[in-house]
Amino acid sequence: MIELIPAIDIINGQCVRLTKGDYEQKTVYRDSPAEVAKEFEQIGFRRLHVVDLDGAKSKHIVNSQVLQDITTKTQLTVDFGGGIKTDADIAAAFAAGAQLVTIGSIAVTHPDLFMGWLQKYGAERIILGADVRNGKISINGWKEDSAEDLLPFLRKYVDAGVRNVLCTEISKDGTLQGPAIELYQRVMSVYPELHLIASGGVSSMDDIRALDAAGIPAVVFGKAIYEGRINLKELWDWQNA
């Protein structure tokens, strides 16, 4: 059964969603991310994906206090990403209660630093962020496209021990137009050992069922929750039927 991971994206301490990573296409849904997290937990969810969008844009963690608020008020297993660029950033994320961190840009721009974190903290606490636009890995809050192609990019880190990968098809993110199932299947066909977390475009329970049927291990979803496209209680009951 696919692992279900609701998402909270943060700008100015608020729960928001962007469309295709565009900061000019921002919708604010709730003022208190911690209250949203508590609601997820009350339904039964045990995992949460938190993104510091201010941090991703600023290239350093900005919303560590919001992260700490979530981790002190819930028992959720939180993975946190956005703005982790230095030893101090990753240490701050773990100190604020994150159990896992998602690292994307640094794996492209400073692979030696990423490898050092992988060795220091262990592969079980590191998620490799692979955000894809036009087949290339995108970095720094999706504002820049690198020269890295997805599958070769993954290869060097899978060989180094990475097992957790969050893959976002940017053209799908926040659009509610359905996930990039073929992309995720292609990744899984090459790297079946990965715990691949699909992200972007989920609009309904049918999308999640389709990802499950395709053998994708996990899915992150956010906008479909906040737009009322997914009933979380129904989704939880389906997973636990």
137 backbone dihedrals φ, ψ, rounded to 5°: -75, 130
SS3 14: strand
How far, CA to CA in Å, does 7 sit from each of 10, 12, 16, 78, 187? 10, 16, 10, 10, 22
Rounded (5°) CA angle 55-65-86: 45
Enumerate the active-site residues. Answer: 9, 131
Supply 188's token pair: 């899984």
Locate 217 and state its tokens: 């291990």
E strand or H helix at 52 = strand 47-52
**Inter-residue contact 33 to 17 (CB < 8 Å):** no
Q: How many Cβ atoms from other residues are within 10 Å of residue 141's Cβ?
A: 23
